[in-house]
Amino acid sequence: MPLRPPAGFISAFYDPLRNPNAPTIGTATGDNEAASVAFTTPSNVGGSAISSYTAISTPGAFTGSAASSPVTVTGLTNGTAYTFIVWATNSYGPSAYSAASGSVTPAAPRGVYGAGNTDGAGNTYINVIQYITITTTGDSTDFGDLTIGRRRAGACASASRGVFAGGQTSSGDTNVMDYITIASIGNATDFGDLALGINSISGCASSTRGLFAGGGYSSISYITIASTGNSSFFGNLSASRSNMGVCASPTRGLFGGGGSLTNVIDYVTIATTGNSSDFGDLTVERQSLAACSSSTRGVFGGGIDASDVTNIIDFVTIASTGNATDFGDLTLARRELAACSSNTRGCWGGGSDAGFRNVIDYVTIASAGNAIDFGDLANITGFSGCNRLAGCSNASGGVE
């Protein structure tokens, strides 16, 4: 591959001493027939400000441009693996190419909801998994079953595999982890074990590593999603909490709310084990909420605050520490719900207020505003609603 774009890309004022340095490639994240390519801007921008960044795919030579990271490349084929390079352009011409990104395979964004409690049966622990196609609206569809029925599990996912961990069974807390291939319906398979049986946990993930935390403990566990096996110790949260909302970008995981009502948000760098750091605060102290994310923005919805069940949605920019900002409201106040997302849309399913709910809401993550009805959880096992369930998807940094 040449060191810089072909001659047709170079302006009449090209000067090799004044063009920018190459960007540093980051993570490419798959979406529906598209990919988002992250990068770090060069410290040496050359003789003038950088006007644009361009990413190009291999195979296919599909391109996209943007003024800053990330660049979105569209027109891709779902199910095909792509890598990307990026270059910068100023008035003197283009930079050299960046290194190639890791491989990413775009896919129709599918969200899955699993486990939970059924309406009118407080001691019933279900093993049902349901799925939705996030880019469309409509009711969920039966996916298969977990290896055991449970509630208050956590979930996380890579672009291909979802993992459900822990939870509470009829005989007590469990350390079981199951996995599914999200693009293929079917029953879950044993993944390995958490270090101990634990419920009321939450999960998030990068493209390769999943994190689970909560359950009244401060410890964070991690797994390599592509490789079955038991979890390992990652680090500690700032305090022991449970029933958190957890989300992630391709590089950073956020843990918000939970415990006996807190507004604290912690963050970790998913690729690097260690204790969490303070990120900022939610707009309201609450627990039993659910969060999801695009590659850049995290949204936290629902829960219970000091006075009642709430419909609040907050958002943060994951790369920038700071307090959350009001986003809008869910269609219905509820707690113990689950969330999943694509890189553009977040969906909250189930939960409870005075009763159990089968509602699924959605928002466009980049645009603040109230949630819109998506459809309903399906009446697969004879229940009309579900709470204490877990959710994940194949289409974003991470979810729960």
pLDDT at 122: 56
pLDDT at 252: 97
pLDDT at 123: 63
Q: 7-94 and 110-393: same fold?
A: no
> What is the chain's alpha carbon radius of gyration, rounded to the nearest angstrom?
21
The set of residues, in sequence order, having a beta carbon less than 8 Å from that of 98 and lying 6+ positions away, is 22, 23, 24, 25, 39, 85, 86, 87
Summarize the confidence of residues 215-239 as an average pLDDT.
97
Residue with tokens 């760098």: 269
pLDDT at 381: 67
pLDDT at 396: 57
Domain layout of the chain by residue ranges: 7-94, 110-393
Which CATH number describes the domain made up of 7-94? 2.60.40.10
pLDDT band at 207 (very low <50, low <70, confident <90, very high): confident
* φ/ψ bin of 7: left (φ > 0), alpha (ψ from -120 to 50), beta (otherwise): alpha
pLDDT band at 386 (very low <50, low <70, confident <90, very high): confident
**Which two structure tokens, joined as six digits, stand for 180?**
């599914």
β-pairing, 141-145 vs 154-157, is unpaired
Q: What is the pLDDT of residues 136-151, one digit of tens each?
A: 999 999 999 999 999 9
**pLDDT above 80: residue 398:** no
Residue with tokens 């050299």: 96
**76-85, 116-125, 189-198: least confidently modelled range:** 116-125
pLDDT band at 1 (very low <50, low <70, confident <90, very high): very low
Summarize the confidence of residues 220-248 as an average pLDDT.
97
Nearest CA to 164 out of 152, 172, 156 is that of 156
Residue with tokens 């599914």: 180
Is the CATH code 2.120.10.80 the one for domain 110-393?
Answer: yes
pLDDT band at 160 (very low <50, low <70, confident <90, very high): confident
Decide: 309 and 335 in contact? Cβ < 8 Å.
yes
pLDDT at 400: 40
- C-alpha distance from residue 304 to each of 135, 136, 197, 262, 352 (Å): 28, 29, 25, 11, 10
Decide: 169 and 157 in contact? Cβ < 8 Å.
no
- C-alpha distance from residue 90 to each of 9, 36, 49 (Å): 11, 22, 6
Sequential DSSP letters for 287-327: BS-EEEE-SSEEEEE--B-SSSB--EEEEEETTS-S--EEE
**Which two structure tokens, joined as six digits, stand for 219?**
């410890």
Nearest CA to 126 out of 143, 112, 141, 145 is that of 145
How far apart (Å, rounded) are the C-alpha atoms in residues 390 and 363?
18
- C-alpha distance from residue 261 to each of 33, 264, 380 (Å): 40, 9, 33
- C-alpha distance from residue 300 to each of 54, 313, 314, 317, 326 (Å): 32, 5, 5, 12, 10
pLDDT band at 380 (very low <50, low <70, confident <90, very high): confident
pLDDT at 335: 96
In this structure, which amino acid lies at residue 24? T
How far apart (Å, rounded) are the C-alpha atoms in residues 161 and 180?
6
How far apart (Å, rounded) are the C-alpha atoms in residues 244 and 268?
15
**Which two structure tokens, joined as six digits, stand for 328?**
């809008």
How far apart (Å, rounded) are the C-alpha atoms in residues 277 and 292?
19
Is the pLDDT higher at 398 or at 216? 216
* φ/ψ bin of 366: left (φ > 0), alpha (ψ from -120 to 50), beta (otherwise): alpha
Summarize the confidence of residues 258-263 as an average pLDDT.
95
**pLDDT above 60: residue 296:** yes
**pLDDT above 50: residue 159:** yes
Summarize the confidence of residues 277-296 as an average pLDDT.
97
pLDDT at 3: 46
Strand partners, 291: 300
Q: What is the pLDDT of residues 163-200, one digit of tens each?
A: 999 999 989 999 999 999 998 999 999 999 999 999 99
